[in-house]
Amino acid sequence: MDAWIAVAAQTGMVLYLPALPVAEVRAVYPDAESDLTDFLAYPSVVYAELSRVESTKVAGFLAESRAWDGTAGHVILIARQRGWPVLTTDSERLQRLAPDLDVDLL
């Protein structure tokens, strides 16, 4: 995380963080709250809630994929809408649903 924050600061890159992955981190890794709070406060990080329209699109995408991974669906939707790559430690999770997704490993 620190490396990507440094890269973002040097290049002016925006890191877009959808709400569902944040909720997952909070649920699975409650001890990471301090780091997560610091990350969300960084000026180049944009945090976004899942809108009603986006939730409908995610649900449709997941139904077509015959899978249920709301977090992955939200990340894939945002990446495709913006034409941005995804930064992740788990590319397989995303590429099972979207093999064509542009992914950079953390």
Phi and psi at 100, nearest 5°, equal: -85, 0
Question: pTM for the complete prediction?
Answer: 0.83
CA distance 76 to 73: 5
Using one digit for the tens of pLDDT, what is the confidence trace for 26-84?
Answer: 999 999 999 899 889 988 899 989 999 999 999 999 999 998 999 999 999 999 999 99
Q: What's the confidence (pLDDT) of residue 44? A: 87
Q: What's the confidence (pLDDT) of residue 85? A: 92
CA distance 90 to 23: 17
Q: What's the confidence (pLDDT) of residue 100? A: 94
Kindly list the structural domains of the chain, giving each domain's residue range(s) and its CATH number in brackets, ordered by start. 2-105 (3.40.50.1010)
Q: What's the confidence (pLDDT) of residue 72? A: 94
Residue 2 has pLDDT above 80, yes or no: no
Using one digit for the tens of pLDDT, what is the confidence trace for 6-17?
Answer: 888 888 888 888
CA distance 20 to 44: 19
